[in-house]
Amino acid sequence: MMRSVIHQLLGLRLSGGCGVTLTQVRDKGHLSRPRLRNPQWFLRKEVTRYDDHLTTENKQFVNELGGVNFGVPAIKKDVQENLIKTKDAATNEVTWTPGLRRCGLIARKIGQYPLWLKNGERIRTTLLQIADNHVIKYIPPEEYLPAQPPKVHNLKKRGCILVGSESTNPALLTKEYTGIFRDSGVGPKKNLARFIVSPEAELVPGTPLNVNHFGVGDFVDVRGKTVDHGFQGVVKRHGFKGMPASHGVTKTHRRAGNIGGGGEKGRVWPGTKMPGHMGNRWRIIKGLRVWRINTKYNVMWVQGSSVPGPTGGLVYIYDTILPLRKNKEAPPFPTFFGELQQTSDDVWYEKVHDFKNGSITYENE
Amino acid sequence: MNQADVTKLMSQLRIAVRPNKRNLKNADGPEGRLLKLRKTVTALVKHERIELFYNRADEARGYAELLISNAIRHGDRHKATMELADYWLLEKQLVHKLFRVLVPRYENYSVSYTRMYKAPRDYPGIYYRQSVLELRGNPYPSLLTDHSQNRSLLHNVLLDEARKEFRRQKLPELVI
Amino acid sequence: MALRILKTLRPVAHPLATTLAGGQRQEFIHTTPACCEIRKLARLRVVDNSDLGKRAMAEGRPPRCIHVYNKRGVGLIGDKVLVAIKGQMKKGILVGLKQNQKPKQPKFDSNNLVLIDDNGSPLGTRIHVPIPTILRTILKEKTLAKGADYTKVLAIASRYV
Amino acid sequence: MNLSTRVMLNRLAPQCAYKRIVTFSTKTAEHAVENQEESKKGVAPAPTPSSPAPVTRKPIIPANYRFVYPEFLPDPKVEWRNPIREKLERLDMLERRKQIDLPEFYVGSVLAVTSSDPHAAGKTSRFVGICINRDRCGLRARFVLRNVIDHQGMEVVYELYDPTIQKVEVLRLEKRLDDSLFYLRDALPEYSTFDENMEAEPLEEGASVPVNDIKVVLRPRPWLERWERQNLRGVANIDEYLKDKHRLSAAKVQKPWEKYDMMKDYRSSIPEEEQTEIFAEVHTDLHTLELQRKRNKRKRTFVKPKQLA
């Protein structure tokens, strides 16, 4: 919290060169702020969903009018042809180099189930469904000046792509929100996300992104909000051992115990593990391998069951930044433009056992 | 990912079911909770419209719906259903009402058997959410203003015109 | 299911036990089932035909594990343990555990032990109880790692499951 | 009951924080698939949920499908339910079932499982035993086999859809009085001793699965679990080792009201409409597999000549 206060002070971009005197924020006022609660008789504003009493034909008419623009792929009819950047029509054909950063995807974590490797080993996989992603906008590097700049390497030389997923009925959205999608040729979307990309990986608004953006066997980073556990104690939040349940221990079994040293260290160090809100924080899991891809339902199987967030939660998938697991050969750059083949057989990584093959046997060596 | 219980077969409820139950803090524990809900279900079947706190109404609604759907599925010759009805309806004449009045009423319903509204919180009184729980097809006057005549509302009139205009434009395309 | 009930050892004052054991010596009757996890003072069952083990089991004084040679302190299948048996300290290898195992690996109703001496050669000549096949790889790996030859235990096994 | 006029008539559908799960249909969610197909045909994608393509007449599902294939029903926990993940899992299960024949078996049937084992000498290992438990669902479905070999009781957990399993044979198809037979661990060894090379007992074609109402004799205490509290039906001498204090504490723990707790049953099971939908989806494949199995079985029994005494 204190860091963000300083950031805001630094972030004040005053016109002209006049220097900004940095005022040191000393006290942690935000910790001792009184928790105000309304008196019991206070009438809270009731949130009512106004039913505007449309007749059924009118309701169908409004949905039908709006329907032209939503539903997958939510692309306005007249804008579709010239928007989708087909492979050959790409003007500046850019070859991929290892340093380039590609666009990411928005996915839903729809569940987990086990797969088996060819050597009989059982692995846990998480299913991520990429629900009709479309590029909404591309902001070149010089125009991209976010209020809170994300912690990304050499941000100055990188543009930003706005991606939207899961198109919705525009009748349910506010005018301002649907305004974002007006010039992108894409119907309004439920979720939006920004991906910092290098300028060569620019994408025209309206290009659909699907699961073939990542190849099978590649490594991805998955970012999401962890499951919200609410206010938790130290035993659950930090894995403290707590104290014994008997042998004369009075009134402290799951408490934190000692929180600091003596003498000049007789204070509470910043970062001391204490009870507090657990979960609902952004976390990123790096280097998960993609074991299998299903193009019909746009689903990818990702290694492990540690993808942050509950089932049905939203996650963002990026190419991995781990040096050893980065893409060696060229991925579909800037994204996969071919036609999504609708056959329902999946693309498996060669190490994974496809259920269509026979049982696994071992040869006597 | 444990195994679903296959011994019991129930028909789908047409209401939104909360993922886990409410404990309705009760001195005698789960048995006291069920007794409290039995009284609510009995009152609901007896009076067909009751006003009470939201949590208790929502829990009782699930049980009432299941009781009626079991009564419809199995009829009154089924031993287990009779035990259920006997347990859940404290006043025994309501068991006859359940099988003679409610079952024929809801036999070929495709919607939920009960309806629940949010009543306003009384002020200045206890601030808990109030609700009205009622059986469908009850004899009382409806709680909602009827909107059958909303065709004459302004936005409906305008939308009608817009629709006709839109159809007129679309007509040549359909014809070609 | 893994009931870790503390082992209570009560000298017998119970008429039933004396008739059961039939001996006039002091008898021990255990009021808890075999432990589901091998740690210190866990009772084990010797399954080879070494005379030391046979005599210990016959007397109703099973060997007790006093140390587990792994960093965890909980014995898994194929681990070497130090046991106190008839007043002596002997080493042994766990060949069957009551602990829940991974799929396809058998779990047993008793914690079975094969007595070995220091350089890994078993005291008995035959194991009269089936042992899991995964022991073949585990003991081979241990032999390479530790240098002492544990594969002799595999040689005296009568049956693999 | 005078309803005071204070009831403001703000018409609100039953407001619940939870999405109105009216029919949790396993048809894939509209926005994922239907539209892609429709977009391919270039039709304006106005997904009218009410009139999907005319569904061919639903095949009639045998009533016992939910007992024979319990793992096809997903976990009823609402937070984990997702139609697409379940559909993909079912497709994988069907693919796997096409490779090896997973027969119909229940808790209490005697099975022989041959699985490929990298540690064994002949790279495969065969285990015969009575199935004492069957749990979990989907690709995680497991069952436990128990047998006593050389006077040593042992149990092995197998995963039904593990690709290293070569063959599963049902040597004796029968049911028992209880759902799980964990008390065999505390019973006399002869109740869980089954000979390795025991012959498969053929069951005539249309007969229903026999229920073996054997009553097992338990060993004296100490037991592994408090069997007296689980009101088991397949145990003979449970009272022999019970003292009054055990009966009192068992009585104190009983929950007679749970018999009437309908919502608890509803939340732990899959409703009938969903079950018929799920089984309608997999019925055609499972039916062909069953016919195939019957053909193989008939061929097999004919080939082996019986040695006449």
Note the pLDDT tens digit of each residue in A277-289.
Answer: 999 999 999 999 9
| Contact: C136, D225; criterion CB under 8 Å | no
Does residue A358 lie in a domain region? no
Please, is B42 exposed, middle or buried when counting C-beta atoms within 10 Å of its C-beta (0-12, 13-18, 19+)? middle
Q: Which of D225, D222, D169, D177 has its CA nearest to residue D200?
A: D169
Evaluate if residue D14 carries a pLDDT over 50.
Answer: no
| Contact: A61, B121; criterion CB under 8 Å | no
Q: Which of A113, A42, A352 has its CA nearest to residue D75?
A: A113
Residues on chain A touching D36 (C-beta within 8 angstroms): 72-73, 340, 342
State residue A83's pLDDT score.
45
Interface test with A, best of D6, D164, D166 (most A CBs within 10 A): D164
State the chains in contact with B (3 or more Cβ–Cβ pairs under 8 Å). A, D
| Contact: D156, C107; criterion CB under 8 Å | yes
> Is the minimum CB–CB distance between D55 and chain C shorter than 8 Å?
no
The domain in which residue D171 lies consists of 90-214
DSSP string, A159-212: EEEEEEEEE--GGGS-HHHHHHTGGGTB--EEEEEEEEE-GGG---TT-EE-GG
What percentage of residues in chain D have a pLDDT greater than 90? Answer: 66
Residues D73, D278: contact at Cβ < 8 Å? yes
Residues C134, C95: contact at Cβ < 8 Å? no
Which residues lie closer than 8 Å to C118 by C-beta, 6 or more apart?
C91, C148
Residues D202, D301: contact at Cβ < 8 Å? yes
The domain in which residue C114 lies consists of 36-155
State residue A43's pLDDT score.
75
Pairwise CA distance, residues A336 & C45, whole Å: 63
Pairwise CA distance, residues A295 & A326, whole Å: 23
Tell whether C96 and C117 lie within a shared domain. Answer: yes
Name the residue with tokens 């016959």.
C58
CB burial readout A76-96, b (16+ within 10 A) else e: beeeeeebbbeeeeeeeeeeb
CB burial readout A30-66, b (16+ within 10 A) else e: eeeeeeeeeeeeeeeeeeeeeeebbbeebeebbeeeb
Pairwise CA distance, residues A42 & B121, whole Å: 11
The dihedral region occupied by A309, where left means phi > 0, alpha psi between -120 and 50, and beta the remainder, is left
Q: Which CA distances in Å does B104 have to B136, C3, D12, D235, D239?
A: 13, 53, 28, 45, 49
Residues A102, A331: contact at Cβ < 8 Å? yes
Does residue D2 lie in a domain region? no
Which residues lie closer than 8 Å to D230 by C-beta, 6 or more apart?
none
Chains C and B, touching by 3 or more CB pairs within 8 angstroms: no
Tell whether C81 and C123 lie within a shared domain. Answer: yes
Does residue C161 lie in a domain region? no
Q: Which CA distances in Å does C13 have to C16, C28, D54, D245?
A: 9, 10, 80, 21
Residues A295, A211: contact at Cβ < 8 Å? yes
Tell whether C94 and C136 lie within a shared domain. Answer: yes
Pairwise CA distance, residues D35 & D48, whole Å: 11
Does residue D130 lie in a domain region? yes
State residue C7's pLDDT score.
45
The CATH code for residues B1-138 is 3.90.1030.10
Which residues lie closer than 8 Å to D112 by C-beta, 6 or more apart?
D126, D127, D128, D167, D168, D169, D171
DSSP string, A66-118: HHTT-SSS-B-HHHHHHHS--TTT-SS-----TT-----EEEEEEEEEEEEBT
Q: Residues A51-78: what's their mean pLDDT? A: 70
Angle at D48 between CA D42 and CA D51, to 5 degrees: 105
CB atoms within 10 A of CB B35: 13
| Contact: D265, B8; criterion CB under 8 Å | yes
Number of H helices, E strands in chain D: 6, 5
Interface test with D, best of C97, C99, C104, C140 (most D CBs within 10 A): C104
Q: Is the peptide bond before B172 cis (omega within 30 degrees of 0)?
A: no
Tell whether C5 and C72 lie within a shared domain. Answer: no
Name the residue with tokens 């194929």.
C78
Pairwise CA distance, residues D48 & C64, whole Å: 72
Q: Residues D193-198: what's their mean pLDDT? A: 92
Give D282's Cβ-side CA count (13 Å radius): 31
Does residue D78 lie in a domain region? no
| Contact: D154, C96; criterion CB under 8 Å | yes
Residues on chain D touching B132 (C-beta within 8 angstroms): 3, 7
Residue A326 sits in a domain of what CATH number? 2.40.30.10
> How long a stretch of residues is chain B?
176
Write out residues 211-270 of D within 8 Å (CB-CB) of B: 255, 257-258, 260-270
State residue D8's pLDDT score.
46
Residue range D260-297, pLDDT digits in tens: 999 999 999 999 999 999 999 999 999 999 888 888 87
Measured between CA atoms, how close is A311 to chain B, in angstroms?
13
Determine the residue of chain B that is closest to A52 in CA distance.
Answer: B155
Phi first, then psi, for residue C90 (nearest 5°) are -130, 155
Chains B and D, touching by 3 or more CB pairs within 8 angstroms: yes
Determine the residue of chain A that is closest to B123 in CA distance.
Answer: A41
Residue C67 sits in a domain of what CATH number? 2.40.150.20
Q: Residues D35-54: what's their mean pLDDT? A: 38
Write out residues 70-99 of D within 8 Å (CB-CB) of B: 70-71, 73-80
Evaluate if residue A74 carries a pLDDT over 60.
Answer: no
Mean pLDDT (10-residue bins), chain B, 176 residues = 89 94 93 96 97 96 97 94 96 96 95 94 78 96 87 92 90 78
Tell whether C53 and C107 lie within a shared domain. Answer: yes
| Contact: A41, B124; criterion CB under 8 Å | yes
> Is the minimum CB–CB distance between A65 and chain D shorter than 8 Å?
no
User: A36-42 contacts: CB < 8 A, separation 24 or more?
Assistant: A40/B124, A40/B127, A41/B123, A41/B124, A41/B127
Reading chain C (161 residues) residue by residue, the pLDDT tens digits are 444 444 444 444 444 444 444 444 555 677 777 778 898 999 999 999 999 999 999 998 999 999 999 998 899 999 999 999 999 999 999 999 999 999 999 999 999 999 999 888 999 999 999 999 999 999 999 888 877 888 899 999 999 98
Does residue D197 lie in a domain region? yes
Measured between CA atoms, how close is B84 to chain D, in angstroms?
6
Number of folded domains in chain C?
2
Write out residues 30-59 of A within 8 Å (CB-CB) of D: 46, 48-49, 51
Does residue D34 lie in a domain region? no
Phi first, then psi, for residue C96 (nearest 5°) are -160, 130
What percentage of residues in chain A have a pLDDT greater than 70? Answer: 83
Residue D153 sits in a domain of what CATH number? 2.30.30.790
Residues on chain D touching C151 (C-beta within 8 angstroms): none
Number of folded domains in chain A?
1
Number of folded domains in chain D?
1
Determine the residue of chain D that is closest to C31 in CA distance.
Answer: D222
Number of H helices, E strands in chain C: 4, 9
Evaluate if residue D23 carries a pLDDT over 50.
Answer: no
Q: Which of A133, A131, A130 has its CA nearest to residue A301?
A: A130
Does residue C139 lie in a domain region? yes
Measured between CA atoms, how close is D155 to chain C, in angstroms?
5
Q: Which of C83, C105, C109, C80 has its CA nearest to residue C97?
A: C109
State the chains in contact with A (3 or more Cβ–Cβ pairs under 8 Å). B, D
Pairwise CA distance, residues D132 & D197, whole Å: 20
Residues on chain D touching A120 (C-beta within 8 angstroms): 116, 118, 163-164
Interface of chain B toward chain A, CB-CB under 8 angstroms? 1, 120-121, 123-124, 127, 147, 150-151, 153, 155-156, 159-160, 162-163, 166
DSSP string, D199-263: PP----TTPPPPB----BPBPPSPPSS-GGGGT-SSBSSTGGG--HHHHHHHHHH--GGGGG-HH
What percentage of residues in chain A have a pLDDT greater than 90? Answer: 44
Tell whether C48 and C105 lie within a shared domain. Answer: yes
Interface test with D, best of B117, B126, B144 (most D CBs within 10 A): B117
Q: Is the peptide bond before B124 cis (omega within 30 degrees of 0)?
A: yes
- Give the H or E element holding residue D39: helix D34-41
What distance lies between CA D16 and its chain's CA centroid? 33
- Give the H or E element holding residue A292: strand A282-294
Evaluate if residue A191 carries a pLDDT over 60.
Answer: yes
Interface test with C, best of D154, D196, D227 (most C CBs within 10 A): D154
Pairwise CA distance, residues D202 & D180, whole Å: 24
> Is the minimum CB–CB distance between D117 and chain A shorter than 8 Å?
yes
- Give the H or E element holding residue D36: helix D34-41
State residue A80's pLDDT score.
45
Domain range summary for chain B, segments of one domain joined by +:
1-138, 145-176
Mean of the per-residue pLDDT values of chain D = 82
Interface predicted TM-score (ipTM) of this complex, two decimals: 0.85
Residues C26, C12: contact at Cβ < 8 Å? yes
Pairwise CA distance, residues A30 & D292, whole Å: 71
Pairwise CA distance, residues D58 & A307, whole Å: 38
Which residues lie closer than 8 Å to C148 by C-beta, 6 or more apart?
C118, C119, C120
Q: Where is mean pLDDT largest: A240-244, D25-29, D55-59, D243-247?
A: D243-247
Q: In this structure, which amino acid lies at residue D167?
A: K
